[in-house]
């Protein structure tokens, strides 16, 4: 319902806020709320009901005669921005003016926007679960060999390493399968995902209102996630400083590294599912430009990540096997994670600077 009210505010924002216009706005809000309640009673989802109401009542020029404000909006029709969903823009150019350039891609429709939003809502937990699995995948490989080397596990360090590698591969495989499964949901909206569309004013208003409706939840999730990420080194530092004299100090330190991964994974698990509406709004309002920005931002980082983590794993295994350093080789992971975070942040800053210079 908040989406409808926000869309209604946008519809009337281009016109003088006279008593008659405010009265008409109240009447139209009542009509839209009644239609929304009726659709919900029929079993429609919230997104379906909102999209249908906007299609039926989202063109102020069409409903103006019913509301009795045709005369009030007529003088502003040539200058006010069009807010109707899926209708033609008002004629505001002289006959002698040059014809407007044709858009490169067809405009996005409300049906596509609703479907894309629902697909993103459905896959949000699968995506976040996959990312969490990727983050936690090295945990067994980090902890089991050290535990076996210290005697905490009654198995050979080599066997512990094999188990850790198997766990890493299984978790990565599960994460990849989850990511692949999302392609089926997004396949009907590939042109939206790829940015091969021209933004539509009505769809953009709807997407912005949808994001605004969920913005409070996203901000809370972001605050919790950032707090977890900032606090993530705390267990490792505590174990290193407080367990120096313990005979199992190496094992405690490895436990701290695993907790760092757990804190990071928990932050991602909280933030990613809450950001789906923001992602939808960015995509629907940005079109090809948003897709190009996303590709540019992640291209360099993606290339680096493709070889960075396998290389880090190879360094860890080589150091551990050749130097028989299972008790100390775990330091590769926190150092590597901090270094990759710095690389990712630097790459994002560089891409942002390049976009600002365009």
Domain parsing of the chain, residue ranges: 2-73, 110-285
Burial class, 8, CB count within 10 angstroms (exposed 0-12 / middle 13-18 / buried 19+)? buried
The alpha carbon dihedral of 74, 35, 211, 301 has a sign of negative
CA 311 to CA 145: how far, in whole Å?
19
Evaluate whether 263 touches 334 at the Cβ level (below 8 Å).
no
Q: Is the pTM of this model over 0.85?
A: no
Residue bearing tokens 């050979």? 156
pLDDT per residue as tens digits for the range 12-44: 777 888 888 888 888 888 888 888 888 888 887
pLDDT band of 242, cuts 50, 70, 90: confident
Mean pLDDT, residues 226-249 taken together? 82
H/E/C letters for each residue in the chain?
CHHHHHHHHHHHCCCCCCHHHHHHHHHHHHHHHHHHHHHHHCCCCHHHHHHHHHHHHCCHHHHHHHHCCHHHHCCCCCCCCCCCCCCCCCCCCCCCCCCCCCCCCCECCHHHHHHHHHHHHHHHHHHHHHHHHHHHCCHHHHHHHHHHHHCCCCCCHHHHHHHHHHHHHHHHHHHHHHHHHHHHHHHHHHHHHCCCCECCHHHHHHHHHHHHHCHHHHHHHHHHHHHHHHHCHHHHHHHHHHCCCCCCHHHHHHHHHHHHHHHHHHHHHHHHHHCHHHHHHHHHHHCHHHHHHHHHHHHHHHHHHHHHHHHHHHHHHHHHHHHCCCCCHHHHHHHHHHHHHHHHHHHHHHHHHHHHHC
C-alpha separations of 181 from 15, 119, 184, 248, 272 in Å: 46, 12, 6, 43, 17
Which residues in 143-164 are b (16+ Cβ under 10 Å) and which e?
Answer: bbbbbbbbeebeeebeebbebb
Does residue 288 carry a pLDDT above 70? no
Does residue 280 carry a pLDDT above 80? yes
More confident residue, 274 or 104: 274
Cβ atoms within 10 Å of 246's Cβ, excluding its own: 12
Across 231-245, 269-283, 329-343, which has the greatest mean pLDDT?
269-283
| pLDDT of amino acid 276 | 92
- Closest C-alpha among 259, 32, 252, 290 to residue 146: 252
More confident residue, 125 or 75: 125
In the chain, the percentage of residues whose pLDDT exceeds 70 is 77
| pLDDT of amino acid 21 | 83
Does residue 158 carry a pLDDT above 50? yes
Evaluate whether 168 touches 140 at the Cβ level (below 8 Å).
yes
More confident residue, 1 or 245: 245
| pLDDT of amino acid 32 | 84
C-alpha separations of 101 from 98, 104, 105, 307 in Å: 9, 9, 12, 44
Q: How many CA atoms lie within 13 A of 234 on its CB side?
A: 8
CA 73 to CA 130: how far, in whole Å?
51
Does residue 246 carry a pLDDT above 60? yes
pLDDT per residue as tens digits for the range 292-335: 455 444 445 555 665 677 777 778 777 777 767 766 777 777 77
Does residue 148 carry a pLDDT above 60? yes
């Amino acid at each position: 319902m908040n989406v409808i009210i926000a869309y209604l505010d946008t519809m009337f924002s281009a016109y003088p806020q006279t008593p008659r216009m405010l009265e008409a706005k109240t009447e139209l809000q009542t009509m839209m709320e009644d239609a929304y309640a009726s659709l919900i009673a029929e079993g429609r989802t919230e997104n379906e009901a909102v999209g249908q109401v906007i299609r039926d009542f989202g063109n102020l020029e069409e409903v103006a005669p019913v509301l009795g404000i045709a005369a009030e909006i007529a003088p502003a029709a040539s200058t006010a921005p069009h807010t109707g969903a899926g209708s033609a823009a008002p004629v505001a150019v002289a006959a002698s003016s040059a014809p407007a350039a044709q858009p490169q891609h067809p405009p996005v429709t409300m049906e596509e926007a609703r479907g894309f939003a629902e697909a993103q809502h459905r896959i949000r937990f699968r995506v976040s679960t996959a990312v969490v699995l990727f983050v936690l995948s090295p945990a067994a490989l980090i902890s089991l060999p050290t535990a076996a080397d210290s005697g905490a596990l009654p198995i050979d360090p080599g066997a512990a390493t094999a188990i850790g590698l198997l766990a890493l591969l299984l978790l990565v495989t599960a994460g990849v399968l989850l990511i692949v499964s999302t392609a089926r949901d997004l396949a009907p909206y590939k042109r939206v995902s790829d940015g091969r569309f021209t933004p539509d004013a009505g769809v953009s208003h709807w997407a912005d209102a949808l994001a605004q409706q969920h913005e409070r939840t996203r901000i809370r999730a972001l605050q919790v996630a950032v707090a977890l990420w900032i606090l993530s080194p705390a267990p490792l530092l505590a174990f290193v400083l407080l367990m120096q004299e313990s005979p199992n100090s190496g094992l405690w330190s490895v436990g701290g590294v695993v907790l760092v991964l757990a804190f990071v994974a928990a932050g991602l698990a909280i933030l990613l599912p809450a950001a789906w509406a923001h992602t939808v709004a960015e995509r629907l309002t940005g079109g090809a430009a948003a897709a190009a920005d996303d590709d540019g931002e992640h291209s360099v980082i993606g290339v680096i990540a493709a070889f960075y983590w396998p290389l880090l794993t190879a360094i860890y295994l080589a150091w551990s096997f050749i130097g028989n350093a299972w008790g100390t080789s775990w330091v590769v992971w926190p150092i590597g994670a901090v270094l990759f975070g710095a690389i990712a942040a630097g790459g994002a800053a560089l891409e942002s600077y390049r976009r600002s210079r365009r």
